[in-house]
């Protein structure tokens, strides 16, 4: 009997069925040990020794594996086929060796990128050793991320209060978002005009042609920049006679895109399905691990963390066969299509993301999938099969037209496309937005019959004014595409990086666009001013290349760490001499458009409008940055620094409460105030006063007595639900306007809906929310993904999947899981620690038998010795000064 170790219990159960009684398949539940989230887990002064920690649940799983190994013939490590999977196998083996449980028993490593019987059995027939360079690359990545996060984050805390963390990849991704916002702020719109003519053929068919030249000069796009020039050209066209100079029809072939990689899957799922990157990966994980099809668990797609675009030869043959049977022989190209990846060193890439069986169409499996799983599988199946289909054949027709107005001449052009054979478009059309190019019909459409040398009748001349627009904000999909282009991060890190930016409140998402918060822009400006090298795109990309070289066995991982740490440590040391005034001067300069926007009257935006003599500047307080006057305390002007207010002095011209009138029912004074979290209205005084923040889109200048009364009257009763008889109410919460019924929240579009929504629509919105389930918009109690155990103070602890990802729940306490943490692998000790941290952070009190008591997590079990991780021979240690002091509980970046 052989012991097989995989990552998840779902895979263990399925693979055990495939292998039969000669094998015992056990799950590691992800990583069995990790670097403790405290200072001193990576020791640069000890040749980067790494101290690993095993929690109690993982220790039990390792013990179970060890116990099974005692009576087995050998150990087979079958974790995921990527860098993380290789590392998990290495961790398991290293722990078993330390416990002296391996002895002389054979150990092998197998990988399969699809959970099907054939893939698993083929892998078992072709074992190998653990890929040491791949493990070294993992160790280098973990050490780098740790050293950056646990040394740079404390600098932020000391020099930039309110900032939460920095990270090697996270901070560079944030810089991309902030740089785009700065581009938008600096953008100056320019006027341009487009001219076209609506013309009619001798057969009575109308079409439109664009002006492309005038008086022998070619007109570039946006070259007509004012109404005067546009008027002259329009006059020329109005009085001109039109004749067709030439008609050229040219056949064009359009080829399909390759199958999905991780990043292109995330981009397409965002464009077509509206999925976030993390949601895409959650759903893909379930499709990979398998679903029940007729009593058998079958993996529907290959492994979803990959930057490879190729498919296995047997998969290509299967796709071509399925194309012939489902679309016809004409759709099968003469030769199979072969794709190559653009990645310089695709160590994590095996196959592209594709269906495990092309004959298993979306229609055949839809009864076994939920709505999101079906939509994503449909996308993967169509893209995969389209990648092996024949090219689309398109006829592109270009018509050149001469306009002659008494010797004044202009050229016009009409372009049209007709699909003569749809080819791969019959299966899949690429999305136009979020980084995917369109492979569908040309926008020009079809032209009527037009012949050379024939005269055309003018119907109408169109002259339209336009203004250039700033570059668009990044969406999750376009940011991932940009990171991939720059070589920043890797497929397995994109979703976690984006989630970290949201969780740190560095960015928000509005209409699927990433908007940097003021906090995020402050962090970026600080890092660009004092740690410029470590947020440079080229530097980060070159570090990724070195990690790839390590995984290819071309570089020693300790050498890479030494080179990095020498300069990074010196930079950290230099910040000890950095004064707050230096920080503020740099931020005032870097963020001037945000902090001191231009005023309509042209006055100096840095002069205080309250006292008229003080100079405005960024100030740093306990809760972050704000704008204040240099004449404090004589002038107490302050203004919240936020992306919404855009630095407008209207946001707060004084800290003094402004009276809006009295409440007609209570007689209490209603005032408009400004606090550290922004403007709000208040009724009465003292602890019992009723308060409400201003909703998004409302500014202090627009709030009057009527609006304040409306806000303070919330929540509003809408009416009794026709099915339950329980009241439906509307209100304004942390996540915006909502309606509520029996604990189920559903978001509504605007604050106006809160005041005006009727019973019928409210019932409809709630029904729509419930039909979408946990992945839909709004908030509702999510079903438990996993029962972890009992809390020492009583009550079950569970893992649930919410709007912002998986979290641990105990009673009314919800604690978000660390990014990248597999919900199935959460242990009781980890859950207790997360709950305790959440309680401490939020000031939540827990009760047991009506007695206040703070939950105390059980201590995790730490290894007493440093892990022996491939030390190089007698490498010279760099001299280093005393290690900078860091906070004991710094969060990883």
Q: Both tokens of residue 198?
A: 């609506």
Strands 107-109 and 296-298: unpaired
Distance CA(498)–CA(170), nearest Å, equals: 8
From residue 435, alpha-carbon distances to 176, 259, 272, 284 in Å are 16, 15, 12, 20
Q: Cβ(81)–Cβ(113) under 8 Å?
A: yes
Distance CA(67)–CA(71), nearest Å, equals: 8
Residue 382's nearest CA partner among 356, 357, 361 is 361
Beta bridge partners of 533: none
Distance CA(151)–CA(139), nearest Å, equals: 18
Give the relative orientation of helices 9-19 and 277-289 as an angle to the nearest 10 degrees: 30
Positive or negative torsion for Cα 779, 783, 788, 793: positive
Positive or negative torsion for Cα 325, 327, 332, 337: negative
From residue 755, alpha-carbon distances to 163, 717, 752 in Å are 36, 10, 5
Distance CA(891)–CA(497), nearest Å, equals: 14
For 307-322, the DSSP string reads: ------HHHHHHHHHH
Q: Cβ(731)–Cβ(746) under 8 Å?
A: no
Is residue 537 classed as helix, strand or coil in its secondary structure? helix
Q: Both tokens of residue 141?
A: 């990545």
Residue 728's nearest CA partner among 759, 754, 753, 773 is 759
Q: Cβ(478)–Cβ(249) under 8 Å?
A: no
Q: Both tokens of residue 737?
A: 């306007």
Q: Where are the beta strands (DSSP E) in 615-712?
A: 616-621, 624-629, 638-640, 658-662, 669-675, 678-683, 690-693
Give the burial class of 715: count Cβ atoms within 10 A of its Cβ; 0-12 exposed, 13-18 middle, 19 or more buried.
middle
Distance CA(857)–CA(226), nearest Å, equals: 70
Strands 513-516 and 507-510: antiparallel
Catalytic status, residue 192: no
Distance CA(275)–CA(298), nearest Å, equals: 24
Distance CA(775)–CA(770), nearest Å, equals: 10
Give the burial class of 395: count Cβ atoms within 10 A of its Cβ; 0-12 exposed, 13-18 middle, 19 or more buried.
middle
Strands 2-6 and 23-27: parallel
Chain centroid offset of residue 723 CA: 39
Q: What is the CA radius of gyration of the chain?
A: 32
What lies within 8 Å, CB to CB, of 51 at 6+ separation is 35, 36, 40, 41, 42, 43, 862, 863, 866, 867
Chain centroid offset of residue 436 CA: 16
Catalytic residue among 288, 303, 474, 494: 303
Beta bridge partners of 893: none
Using the CB atoms, write b or e for 243-274: b if 16+ within 10 Å. Answer: ebeebeeeeeebebbbbbbbbbbbbbbbbbbe
Distance CA(256)–CA(838), nearest Å, equals: 49
Distance CA(445)–CA(417), nearest Å, equals: 5
Is residue 393 classed as helix, strand or coil in its secondary structure? strand
Q: Which residues are catalytic?
A: 303
């Amino acid at each position: 009997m052989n012991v097989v170790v995989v990552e998840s219990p779902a895979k263990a159960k399925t693979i055990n069925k495939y292998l039969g009684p000669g094998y015992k398949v056990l799950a590691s539940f992800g990583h069995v040990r990790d670097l403790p989230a405290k200072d001193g887990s990576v020791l640069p002064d000890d040749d980067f020794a790494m101290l690993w920690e095993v929690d109690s649940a993982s220790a039990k799983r390792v013990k179970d594996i060890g116990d099974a190994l005692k009576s087995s013939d050998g150990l087979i490590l079958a974790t995921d086929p990527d860098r993380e999977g290789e590392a998990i196998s290495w961790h398991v083996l290293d722990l078993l060796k330390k416990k002296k449980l391996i002895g002389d028993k054979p150990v092998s490593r197998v990988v399969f990128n699809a959970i099907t019987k054939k893939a698993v059995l083929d892998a078992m027939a072709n074992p190998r050793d653990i890929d040491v360079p791949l493990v070294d690359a993992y160790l280098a990545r973990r050490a780098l991320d740790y050293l950056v996060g646990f040394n740079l984050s404390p600098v932020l805390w000391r020099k930039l209060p309110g900032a939460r963390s920095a990270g090697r990849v996270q901070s560079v991704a944030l810089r991309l978002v902030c740089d785009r916002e700065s581009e938008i702020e600096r953008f100056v719109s320019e006027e341009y005009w487009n001219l076209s003519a609506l013309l009619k053929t001798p057969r009575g068919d109308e079409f439109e042609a664009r002006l492309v030249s005038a008086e022998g000069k070619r007109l570039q796009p946006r070259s007509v920049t004012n109404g005067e020039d546009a008027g002259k050209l329009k006059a020329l066209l109005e009085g001109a006679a039109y004749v067709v100079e030439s008609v050229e029809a040219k056949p064009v072939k359009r080829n399909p895109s390759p199958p999905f990689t991780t990043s292109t899957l995330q981009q397409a799922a965002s464009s077509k399905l509206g999925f976030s990157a993390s949601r895409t990966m959650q759903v893909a994980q379930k499709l990979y691990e398998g679903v029940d099809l007729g009593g058998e668990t079958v993996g529907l797609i290959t492994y979803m963390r990959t930057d490879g675009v190729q498919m296995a030869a047997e998969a290509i043959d299967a796709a071509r066969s399925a194309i012939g049977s489902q679309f016809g022989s004409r759709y099968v190209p003469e030769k199979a299509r072969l794709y190559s990846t653009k990645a310089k060193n695709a160590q994590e890439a095996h196959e592209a993301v594709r269906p495990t069986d092309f004959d298993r169409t979306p229609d055949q499996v839809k009864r076994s999938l939920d709505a999101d799983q079906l939509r994503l599988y449909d996308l993967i199946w169509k893209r995969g099969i389209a990648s092996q289909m024949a090219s689309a054949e398109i006829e592109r027709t270009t018509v050149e037209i001469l306009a002659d107005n008494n010797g004044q001449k202009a050229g016009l052009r009409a372009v049209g496309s007709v699909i003569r054979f749809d080819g791969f478009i019959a299966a899949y059309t690429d999305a136009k937005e979020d980084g995917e190019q369109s492979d569908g019909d040309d926008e020009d459409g079809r032209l009527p019959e037009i012949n050379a040398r024939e005269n055309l009748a003018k119907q109408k001349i169109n002259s339209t004014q336009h203004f250039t627009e700033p570059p668009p904000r990044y969406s999750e999909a376009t940011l991932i595409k940009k990171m991939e282009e720059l070589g920043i991060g890797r497929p397995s890190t994109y979703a976690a990086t984006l989630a970290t930016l949201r969780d740190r409140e560095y960015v928000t998402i509005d209409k699927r666009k990433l908007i940097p918060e003021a906090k995020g822009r402050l962090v970026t400006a600080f890092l660009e001013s004092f740690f410029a090298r470590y947020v440079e795109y080229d530097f980060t990309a070159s570090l990724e290349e070195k990690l790839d070289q390590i995984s290819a066995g071309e570089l020693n991982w300790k050498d890479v760490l030494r080179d990095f740490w020498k300069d990074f440590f010196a930079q950290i040391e230099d910040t000890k001499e950095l004064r707050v005034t230096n920080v503020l001067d740099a931020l005032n300069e870097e963020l001037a458009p945000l902090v001191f926007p231009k005023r309509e009257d042209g006055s100096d935006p840095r002069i205080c409008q309250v006292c008229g003599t003080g100079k405005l500047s960024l100030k740093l307080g306990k809760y972050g940055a704000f704008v204040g006057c240099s004449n404090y305390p004589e002038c107490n002007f302050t203004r919240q620094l936020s992306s919404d207010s855009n630095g407008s002095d209207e946001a707060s011209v004084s800290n003094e409460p402004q009276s809006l009138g009295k409440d007609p029912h209570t007689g209490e004074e209603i005032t408009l105030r400004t606090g550290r979290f922004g403007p709000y209205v208040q009724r009465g005084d003292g602890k019992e006063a009723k308060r409400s923040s201003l909703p998004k889109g409302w500014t202090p200048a627009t709030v009057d007595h009527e609006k304040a009364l409306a806000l303070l009257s919330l929540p509003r009763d809408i009416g009794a639900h026709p099915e339950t008889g329980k009241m439906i109410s509307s209100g304004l919460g942390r996540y915006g306007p909502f309606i509520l019924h029996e604990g189920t929240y559903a978001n509504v579009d605007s604050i106006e809906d809160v005041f005006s929504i009727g019973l019928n629509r409210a019932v409809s919105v709630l029904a729509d929310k419930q039909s979408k389930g946990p992945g839909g918009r709004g908030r509702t109690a999510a079903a438990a993904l996993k029962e972890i155990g009992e809390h020492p103070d009583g009550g079950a602890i569970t893992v649930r999947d919410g709007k912002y990802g998986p979290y641990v729940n105990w009673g009314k306490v919800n604690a978000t899981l660390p990014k990248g943490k597999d919900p199935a692998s959460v242990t009781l000790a980890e859950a207790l620690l997360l709950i305790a941290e959440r309680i401490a952070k939020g000031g939540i009190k827990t009760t047991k038998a009506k007695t206040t008591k703070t939950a105390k997590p059980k201590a995790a079990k730490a290894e007493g010795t440093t892990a022996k991780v491939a030390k190089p021979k007698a490498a010279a240690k760099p001299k280093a000064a005393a290690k900078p002091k860091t906070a004991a509980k710094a969060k990883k970046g």
